[in-house]
Amino acid sequence: MQNVLTPYDRLTAWLSSRLPEGLALLITRVALAGIFWRSGRTKVEEGTALSINEATYFLFEYEYTGLPLPVDLAVPLATYAEHLFPILLVLGLFTRFAALSLLLMTLVIQFFVYPEAWWATHILWVAMAAILVSRGGGLFSADALLASRRAR
């Protein structure tokens, strides 16, 4: 008996190939980066690159009281992480490391800041980060470019 591929089988094979996967990973990287980038921008003075505003210190001191770090350490760590890791994700550079860092940050937020936000928000962030940790940046990433250069 001859093995005949159905249209569904051909479509599934194509959707599993590098191009669609690369596009999906690119979209996932940009989506996750956007979430954290926008949050990071709320922590800095408008019109500055990384000058942390006083409201951020106030928020961490009086609203995010469950954090296991001192405010003077938590504020710059969170602010700089929410700027650095999204840039790395958009570039697809050190994707797994950046996604793992944001995954850990999400878990800190989940357990110590907004424990009620799991199903509404954090599960989506965890899912995006987990996909990027397991699959990497994909075809359209600096990681792929560096890997192809190393292979030569």
Q: Does the residue 22 lie in any domain?
A: no
Residue 42 in any domain: the answer is yes
Answer yes or no: are the C-beta atoms of 39 and 142 closer than 8 Å. no
CA dist 65 → 17, 57, 98, 119, 122 (Å) = 46, 11, 26, 22, 19
In a domain, 78, yes or no: yes
How many domains does the chain divide into? 1
Residue 86 has pLDDT above 60, yes or no: yes
What is the predicted pLDDT for the residue at 2?
A: 64
One-letter amino acid for residue 110 of the chain:
Q
Residue 19 domain-assigned (yes or no) = no
pLDDT in tens, 87-106: 999 999 999 999 999 999 99
**pLDDT, position 152:** 83
**What is the band of 77 on the pLDDT scale with cuts at 50, 70, 90?**
very high
In total, the chain counts a number of residues equal to 152
Residue 1, pLDDT score: 57
pLDDT at 91: 98
Q: Write the DSSP symbol of residue 16.
A: T
Mean pLDDT value across the chain: 95
Residue 129 in any domain: the answer is yes
Q: What are phi and psi of 48, to 5 degrees?
A: -115, 160
Residue 5 has pLDDT above 90, yes or no: no
The model's pTM is: 0.92
Distance CA 54, CA 102 (A): 24
Higher-pLDDT residue of 1, 80: 80
Identify whether 2 is part of a domain: no
- Residues 13-71 have pLDDT tens digits of 999 999 999 999 999 999 999 999 999 999 999 999 999 999 999 999 999 999 999 99
The reply to whether 8 falls in a domain is no
Is 47 within a domain? yes
Please name which of 97, 99, 1, 81 lies closest in space to residue 44, comparing C-alpha atoms: 81
Range of the domain at 109: 35-151
